[in-house]
Amino acid sequence: MRKISLPVRLALLVAGTMSPLIIFASVIIYRGYEKDRADASARVLENARSIRTVLDAELRRMTGGMQVLSMTDSLRSGDFDLFRRIALGFLEQYPPGGVVLVADRDGRQLFSTLSSDIAKLPPSGNIEMVRKVFESGETVYSNLFVSSVLKTPILTVEVPVRVDDQVVYDLSFAPPMAAFQGILERQRPSPDWTISIFDSEGTNVARVPNPEETVGRRASATLYAEMFKSPEATFETVSLQGVPLITAVARSEVSGWIVGNGIASASLTAPLWRALAITIAVGILLLLIGVGFALRMASVIARGEAQHALLVEELNHRVKNTLAVLQAIASQTFRGASKTERDTFDGRLGALAKAHDLLSQEKWAGANVQDVVNRVLEPYAILGSPRLRISGPKVPLTPPRAVMMSMILHEIATNAAKYGALSNEAGTVSIDWRLVLEPAGERLRLTWIESGGPRVHAPTRKGFGSRLIERGARDQLGGSATVDFLPTGVVCTILSAVG
């Protein structure tokens, strides 16, 4: 058998070394792509859930405001002139374009914030929803339909108006469509994402991008075939514009509407092919350089083989001497060392290997007390400012204290809406805070006083809310909280550290 020459053997050695590295790098890149794809699938589902949570919170806020409206005496008594001022105040918290309507059982519109001329009001454009409200006595969220007044596609939140446990009116709120579009624009992570809100029949209610071309159209065929199979799912679809997407859907338990969002598959595959192309190109270049270097080395080796042999012998000699020196140094170093000393040395090396950790701290923008109070009481602002008296200086709170103060006030306000001063038509709440000087330093003292509500009876046991207030004030606010159940109304005093 003919012996292979040294240059050929070196070239094969370089090729045999580089080829597995190129293949290995390509496999690593593809594995990274698969992981990125799995992460992207989890991310789109998490984003769909997040948008659904925001959408549900907004719908609950709308519904809560509508339910408060439905209990006003002016509406229940049919005094629509007085009710108009209240309804217009309700609309002020939303962008322009919202409409409040009142219809009877037959779908005849009795009131509209758009016009005071009842004779000109057409019948309800969604009589089925009106009937459903009267039959079920529950809140109903409509699908997209064309308004008989505005002549544009709208959605409605419809709540029953009861008098003596009988549904007498259908109170309907058509929020501005920009409110839903704004949710998507704020929640869109990047331009590669396509996000939509669909009604329960799969019709686009809001969408980014291209809302003008897609709102009112049904979901793409690939998405429509999958979106109703499960409350939450992730799959591959093609958008209405023909763009392949990794898509996730999440159905709202509040309204039955569906949030769908997806990221363009190309945003994952394009980096994959680019990375593979770069890896292969660099690998081939290095292979060519290696082969060229191997051929040159083979030529040098062939011309100086005798000198090479001499150098190898010299190198072997030096290696043996170096090993001997290392052996002597180790013997001298550990001759008198105890196990404790060796362990101490090992421990120091271990400590050095673990020298630094990277710490990442999220930076929050703090809030002042008035911001916290206003945010908590926002759902009750429809009751009117005379019933809510808020006063106090600007006092900043750190993010953890702002969060805990919000939780405590939310608990108190919820109890007031259920059992206290905010549960009837005449009760009032006064919230006042000021800075006080105590032995431990300056403190914030906030007082919540209810009056005019139903007669108060102290609870027989402490629930989770009471424990939340007491422990939250103690552990998070660095102060205390007391709740007094006076016959005239609840009085809560919160003491908190400042800052």
- 40, two tokens: 């992207």
pLDDT score for 319: 38
- 46, two tokens: 């998490």
pLDDT score for 168: 92
Confidence of residue 159 (pLDDT cuts 50, 70, 90): very high
- Measure the CA–CA gap between 236 and 242, rounded to whole angstroms: 12
| DSSP states of 62-124 | HHHHHHHHHT-HHHHTT-HHHHHHHHHHHHTTS-TT-EEEEE-TT--EEEETTBS-GGGPPPP
Closest Cα to residue 48, out of 196, 192, 177?
196
Q: Does the pLDDT of residue 243 top 50, yes or no? A: yes
- 384, two tokens: 């009117």
Closest Cα to residue 82, out of 69, 99, 94, 68?
69
Q: What three-state secondary structure class fits 447?
A: strand
Q: Which residue has the higher pLDDT, 67 or 24?
A: 67
Q: Which residue has the higher pLDDT, 12 or 164?
A: 164
Residues 251-262: tens digit of each pLDDT: 998 899 999 988
Q: What three-state secondary structure class fits 408?
A: helix
Extended strands (E) in 140-231: 140-141, 145-146, 153-154, 157-163, 166-174, 193-198, 204-208
Look at 100-104, 242-246, 457-461, 489-493 and tell me which has the smallest mean pLDDT: 457-461
pLDDT score for 351: 26
Average pLDDT over residues 148-169: 87
Residues 414-426: tens digit of each pLDDT: 888 888 888 888 8
Residues 87-98: tens digit of each pLDDT: 999 998 888 889
Closest Cα to residue 70, out of 44, 102, 113, 25?
102
Residues 32-42: tens digit of each pLDDT: 656 767 777 88
Q: What is the pTM of this model?
A: 0.49
Q: Does the pLDDT of residue 235 top 50, yes or no? A: yes
Question: What is the dihedral angle through the alpha carbons of 347, 349, 350, 354, rounded to the nearest 10 degrees?
Answer: 140
Mean pLDDT of the chain: 78
Average pLDDT over residues 465-492: 85
Look at 283-297, 390-404, 408-422 and tell me which has the smallest mean pLDDT: 283-297
Residues 448-472: tens digit of each pLDDT: 999 988 888 877 777 767 887 888 8
Q: What three-state secondary structure class fits 171?
A: strand
Q: Does the pLDDT of residue 160 top 90, yes or no? A: yes
Rg from Cα positions in the chain: 36
